[in-house]
Structure 1
Amino acid sequence: MSRHLPPSDREPDHYVNPEPFDPTATEKLTPEQERFYQASQWKIMWWKFRRHKLAVWSGVVLILFYLCVPFAEIIAPYTPNERNNDYLYAPPQTLHLFHDGQFIGPFVYGFTSEVDLETLRWVYKEDPDQVQPLRFFCSGSTYRFWGLWEMDFRLVCAAEGGSMFLAGTDRLGRDQLSGLIYGARLSLTVGIVGIVISMFLGILLGGLAGYFGGIIDSMIQRLIEIMRALPELPLWMALSAALPVTWSPVWIYFGLTIILGLLDWPGLARAVRSKLLSLREEEYARAAVMMGARPRRIIFKHLLPGFTSHLIASASLSIPAMILGETALSFLNLGLRRPSVSWGVLLNEAQNISVVTIYPWLMAPVIPIIIVVLAFNFLGDGLRDAADPYK
């Protein structure tokens, strides 16, 4: 495979009788160049994305987090609302492998507890005489898998008659680690469901404004300006507080996702509008109009595919904002509530600074929130760079 060499745009400083351009002159392409020119746009994007190591590892981290969503019941050692009355505000147990120089495998030491008469609170200490090996692929407390089938199979369980609180417990003795695993189901999916609603509205309204222009564009632009002029967090709080307290946790969840999605579309709509304003003047778009194609077909079959990669990058950067929105509302007790469990619901236990000072492990949900938000941001940066593979 070969290609023609174009004439130079710049002339040398000193020359005499330059040779005329020979259109038959060709340059042999290397196998790498030939592979590049024959590749599709999506393949070129993938090659460029792989070079962004931080984005790739962020994608791996997010995949691991999202694997917890469908299998939370199996992965978590306890159900999220299961109480252990003998371990109120128990600190995290340390995971060990060796006892007295002998390899035993993953195990924890049991607790001994006593009441501190000065502070009037339980004090827990590890007892080296209580070696409690962990059990894997075991039977634990019963649960309903996806709310459909009753099961007791778990990935890891505490020893018979023992305890396993690797992230500590709260004021009612509920395991924090199990809460974090179950909470990932709601906190991570609220961003996915919300971004679907946001992208639908953003593409629809932005597409109408960018393609038709005129009065339609003006009306949608004024609506976007009104939406963006409203303070975001107070508006979230007002709409969330308007949800009836008698609603079931499922309806509260869907109501919250709809609120987050309805308030996030203006930014995406503006991006879609600006792109369509430029793309509708391209020759292929004009040719589709002259051939009698309907506006819906032109927008969704010809114009939108031209910047689908940019939409994907924008979506990946919007999801963390929705996760933080749900966390903030649940933390303020305006979003999800018990018995539903999300990372924001777990943080609701840490509203009192004195409690956090004494029991710092109640702030554990902050760690996965930071990891997920940073991972989405790094992934979005990588996708945004890869969206323009020829740059």
Structure 2
Amino acid sequence: MDFEHSPRAIELEAKLSAFMARHVYPVEGLYREQVENGHRHHRPPILEDLKRLARAEGLWNLFLPGDHGAGIGNLEYAPLAEIMGRISWASEIFNCSAPDTGNMEVLALYGTPEQKKRWLEPLLSGEIRSGFSMTEPEVASSDATNIQCSIRRDGNDYVINGRKWFTSGAMSEDCKILIVMGKTDPDNPNKHLQQSMVLVPRETPGIRIVRDMRVFGYDDAPVGHPEIIYDNVRVPAANMLLGEGRGFEIAQGRLGPGRIHHCMRLIGCAQRALELMCARAQSRIAFGKALGEQGSVREDIAHSWCEIEQARLLTLRAAEKMDREGNKAARDMIAAAKVVVPGMTARVIDRAIQIHGGAGVSQDTFLAEAYTYARFMRLGDGPDQVHLAQLGRGLLKRYGAPV
């Protein structure tokens, strides 16, 4: 299998790496200062400056194929996402951050011309941000058929009632549109035709933020993941995406690329953790010698390198199959990567934390925040158990017949 990237992708990789080195790494601390000391849910000024620079250099919408993006596929995007993933917020600089990437893909694939004009175009230009409202606190949302939020037709409108949480992106003052999943036909005997997705402007009356959800103490400002109550929220019927009963179909189409994008970014987290681990092991002296002279430290470093390489190859294989056969045909590889990569990243970062000692669990390195992201992604976009069950079921069908 040939994993050589096209000249276009190689050019973008070099430009992106240079941009990160020149503009992003030097202001990593400044970004956090501006988030902490300014309005926590407002775009920090340094991010606005970086976005203008990135767009001027053509490093924009890299994730999106076709006319809207860089014209590259998933395989070619993988090393770019890995580079961006080395800093948790860097992907937004290039308009490649979740949940906007998935929401833009949904609008590009399923939106009407009017929906694209009103919402996709400003998202593509980076003028606004968006949220994705699917998970609910009162049901096991790993089974999406459990979702109880009501989307009821009332004349020329839909009325939405329900409670959601971990609504990615909705705390940001730049968030102007939410994609909400709920049930339009709860009595349909086919559970996969009960759900729909509807576009809900963020300022619509009846939307109430209950609280921002924290993950291991992090609130992921400025974007956030709040708990939201929808109380008789009324939107025009024209805001329905694709049609009633198509929500599960849209979710599957949306989450496939999103899952592999997270894997790509997580590999960047793990690679950076490995590099920091090596630098720390060479520079830190304990009991009369460098940490890197300790056998257990060398083993941790070697194991980490092996695991990153394995996970990277699996992710590239999944991306290549998506490009060649389509997202649905690649769901086995996507599921495998989604299980393997977050667990690998958490292990590698945990080893790096251990070698850094107290600094590893503090705000002085990116490790604690990166670990939070990696551990969360064993749940986000579907928990490990769901992907393992899906993968196992498919493998039984493929190989379980008598020979």
Question: Do Structure 1 and Structure 2 share a fold, with TM-score over 0.5?
Answer: no
Report which structure shows greater RCO (CA 8 Å, sep ≥6).
Answer: 1
Larger Rg: 1
